[in-house]
Amino acid sequence: MSTDPIKNKHIVLGLSGGIAAYKAAELCRALVKAGASVQVVMTEAATQFMTALTMQALSGREVFTSQWDSKAATDGSGHAIANNMAHINLTRGADAVLIAPASADFMAKLLHGRADDLLSLLCLAKPSGVPLILAPAMNREMWAHPATQRNMAQLKADGAHLLDVGNGDQACGEVGDGRMLEANDILSDLVTYFTPKVLAGKRALITAGPTYEAIDPVRGITNLSSGKMGFAIAEAMRDAGCEVTLVAGRTALDSPRGVQTIPVISANDMLKAVQANVDNADIFIATAAVADWRPANAATHKIKKDGSGKNGESAAPILSFVENTDILATVAASPRATSYPLAGSLYCVGFAAESEHLEAHARAKRERKGVPLLVGNIGPATFGMDDNALLLVDANGTKELPRAAKIALARALVLELAQRLNP
């Protein structure tokens, strides 16, 4: 995940009392690693679960736990002010106040505007332009209780941004909703929160990863695509405000949160999934490494050696192939795609995985596939890796996006798309 939108942000990280406080330590570390400055504030209850010392070590700043603490409080621009008003100074210049964990009790308190400890006082006294982001954490019964749900609805109405909760094993031994999200998920939600919504309201359909064409039930033909570029584009499109459907061949990657992922195996499965979803899309991005051919007749049972002991050609099966449908070319030839840029049309983006002569092949492929934008890359220099370099080819010429992390390139590609779709 690229955490670039977090870089140089100043986050006031508030901990209220809950066993999920242990995840706040990891979250603090992740925020600092992503380039944020973090000012930790803890309620008295939070200090029962996590020491201020640990949070100080991880944030590199003194932790505040009491409104009566007279140490000088530092604002978002790094000015220490010795006026004994930490509840005012700490949020001035902050980019967000993030409460993680936000306990049921703490949320009930916020809802009423009560301010009898530093963290609740600070939430009440923060400038209205500083967002309040809450990561709830509690037992499933507490979570489901109408009082909690009512409080959360009112907090949202008052302008707070509520993160989801996780589902699963709880510290109390019960199983259900209410776990605080993992640190990485909270970080990912923060990235989404801070990313400008340049594609708000658009719906994107993306193909990613390799396809697998069966020879028999235990063997098949595939390729070296890891799916990382397509998954990164799905994340970047989501963060930019798009509703994203991702049709993914077999990969080792987790489905990005907030993205509808449809797993497929073969090129034919991918074609069907695309056809079933493309009518709802405004943008189609084909990053998948689709197998060009499949075995003409996949065997129903495992093909056995003939047992002759000969390893010569005569003992090996001879495979014949048929060409798979070109998914991108099929979609690009549809009336909604060919009517681009009319209202309600579909904008198609193709990828080209080449091994040489990138620009010439990418230009030719753009014409052949009939797409407004073709993104070229050198397959062997990127398959399976975390970085890549892209060459954008459209009717106006070419533009290079130099080698960078795939997620950084995905974010740059999103900006390029936004310029073309919302000129």
The binding site for ligand CTP (CB under 6 A) comprises 207, 267, 286, 288, 290, 292, 324, 326-328, 350-353, 365
Least separation in angstroms between CB 7 and ligand CTP: 31
Residue (of 153, 150, 149, 181) closest to 165 by Cα position? 181
Please say whether the beta carbons of 327 and 267 come within 8 A.
yes
| Helix, coil or strand: residue 84 | coil
Least separation in angstroms between CB 75 and ligand CTP: 49
Please say whether the beta carbons of 348 and 337 come within 8 A.
yes
Answer yes or no: 172 catalytic: yes
- CB nearer ligand CTP, residue 1 or residue 389: 389
C-alpha 105/C-alpha 118 separation (Å) is 15
Least separation in angstroms between CB 348 and ligand CTP: 9
Q: Which residues pair with 10 in a beta bridge?
A: 37
Least separation in angstroms between CB 325 and ligand CTP: 6
Least separation in angstroms between CB 261 and ligand CTP: 17
C-alpha 416/C-alpha 167 separation (Å) is 37
Residue (of 293, 283, 294) closest to 207 by Cα position? 283
- Does the bond joining 217 to the residue before it have cis omega, within 30 degrees of 0? no
| Helix, coil or strand: residue 79 | coil
Q: b/e per residue, 194-230, with b = 16+ CB within 10 A?
A: bbeebbeebebbbbbbbbbbbbeeeebbbbebbbbbb
- CB nearer ligand CTP, residue 63 or residue 353: 353
DSSP secondary structure letters along 236-279: HHHHTT-EEEEEE-S-SPPPPTTSEEEE--SHHHHHHHHHHHGG
- CB nearer ligand CTP, residue 5 or residue 350: 350
Please say whether the beta carbons of 131 and 99 come within 8 A.
no
- CB nearer ligand CTP, residue 138 or residue 237: 237
Least separation in angstroms between CB 238 and ligand CTP: 20
- CB nearer ligand CTP, residue 76 or residue 350: 350
Please say whether the beta carbons of 393 and 366 come within 8 A.
yes
- CB nearer ligand CTP, residue 256 or residue 376: 376
Instruction: Identify the active-site residue in 28, 172, 242, 348.
Output: 172
Residues forming the active site: 172
